[in-house]
Amino acid sequence: MMASTSFRILTPLLLAFCDLALADCECGYSITTPSDDGRYVFTDLLESDFVHLDIVGGAGAKAYGGYEWTPQAFNMSSEVARGPYGQAFTVQNVISNNIIDEQVYNGTGPRGGDAGLELVVGSEIENGMVPCADASTTDAHYFHGTFRAGIKVTDVPGTCSAFFWYMNDTQEIDIEFLSSEFDRSNSTFPVNLVLQSEESKNNGFDASGTGDFRKIHLPFDPTEDFHEYRIDFLPDRVLFYADAQLLAEMNGTGVPSTPGNLQLSHWSNGNAGWSQGPPKTDAATVVSYVKAYFNSSLASRHSDYAVRCKDPSAPGAVCPIPDRSPTFFFGNAPDMTPNQTTYHENIGRRTGRWRQLPLAAAIATSTWVAGL
């Protein structure tokens, strides 16, 4: 157990030898773990407000993949999918249903249904495959961090809705909902929390036979409204939350050791032991946002951090991350995302860039510091 004053920083903290105007959060964004009151600071962010952000190329949208998210298009045979049906992930099944008014964060989108990013699983089998949906970040530099998604899960039985961190099939952190498991008659609404690892691979990719699987019954119906589901990926453990309440903590060899990407997925393959289905009608799970506060694996981001973070102990240098605040984004506030990737300018119009840092970045040295 750690004392309540413990302070862990997992990113470079050397000072840069240049003049750079200070802004809030220039040294990162922090969480405190509930089990040991340990403080963790993450240097980078990606905040995606899918209620307003069009990632699929509709009217007024930026270029394909320009907001760090890309709808996926690929097929999986029934053998690879490990079910009686294959899976056809299509761009058409990832739908941005956006509200134009950027001050409105919930309600009906122009297509009908909840505004946000729709992930649709089709009910019509095509060439032995179920139409499915997946959107992923375009980069795989997301290392340790806290990753949060606002999700309203489909109520149509026969699909798997997932929010996960992924590098490969043995380096994966999953939050998965099986709609066939929901039972309103007795208020049973489980969520499956999984670390896919070498152990699960050796168990036929059945993590339920390992120590890295938990089925937790939620105290609410995840199909009635949006709730925040969260993964804290730390060097020695992974913590899972729903609406800021800790659900489970896992450690050991199943904790990933590499950077990866983030994915939102909705699928079915008819596997009686997991997704079941396919659904009898088209099914949509909707994502309102993803908020990622993390340590990048890119050396360029380490150097940038060393330049902009002059004094991590200065007031406002590190910003606490609010718990379950669906309408709060650091990117919407002035001077709280220095040298970060955002899709907002000062008054909310969309961009996607890192501001260039001074030449001193070239001479700044980065290191990994713990226990400050």
Average pLDDT on 58-73 reads 70
Using DSSP, how many helices (H) and how many strands (E) does the chain show? 3, 21
d(CA 225, CA 286): 10
In this predicted structure, what is the pLDDT of residue 67?
81
Q: Quote the pLDDT of residue 342.
A: 77
Q: What percent of the chain has pLDDT over 70?
A: 83
Q: What's the token pair of residue 306?
A: 């060393």
Domains in the chain, ordered, with CATH?
Answer: 47-294 (2.60.120.200)
Distance CA 191, CA 149 (A): 14
pLDDT of residue 127: 95
365 or 218, higher pLDDT: 218
- pLDDT at residue 199, rounded to an integer: 74
Q: Is the pLDDT of residue 306 over 70?
A: yes
Give the CA dihedral 287, 291, 296, 300, nearest 10 degrees. 100
pLDDT value at residue 198: 76
Residue 215 and residue 207 in contact, taking contact as beta carbons nearer than 8 Å:
no
**Mean pLDDT to the nearest integer, 4-12:** 39
Please determine, for residue 8, whether its predicted confidence score (pLDDT) is greater than 80: no
Tell whether the model's pLDDT for residue 147 goes beyond 60. yes
pLDDT at 58: 62
82 compared with 278, residue with greater pLDDT: 278
Mean pLDDT within 322-330:
93
On average, the pLDDT of the chain sits at 85
The pLDDT score that the predictor gives to residue 203 is 73
Which of 294, 361, 256 is CA-nearest to residue 11? 294
- What are the residues whose beta carbons fall under 8 Å from the beta carbon of 165, sequence distance 6 or more? 142, 147, 172, 173, 231, 233, 256, 260, 261, 262, 263
Quick check: 54 pLDDT over 50?
Answer: yes
The reported pLDDT for the residue numbered 322 is 95
Amino acid code (one letter) for 10: L
pLDDT exceeds 90 at position 192: yes
pLDDT band at 18 (very low <50, low <70, confident <90, very high): very low
Which is it for the CA torsion 355, 356, 361, 367, positive or negative?
A: positive
- Whether the pLDDT of residue 228 is over 50: the answer is yes
Given a cut of 80, is residue 355 above it in pLDDT? no
Alpha-carbon dihedral 291, 294, 297, 303, rounded to 10 degrees: 110
CB 149 within 8 A of CB 264: yes
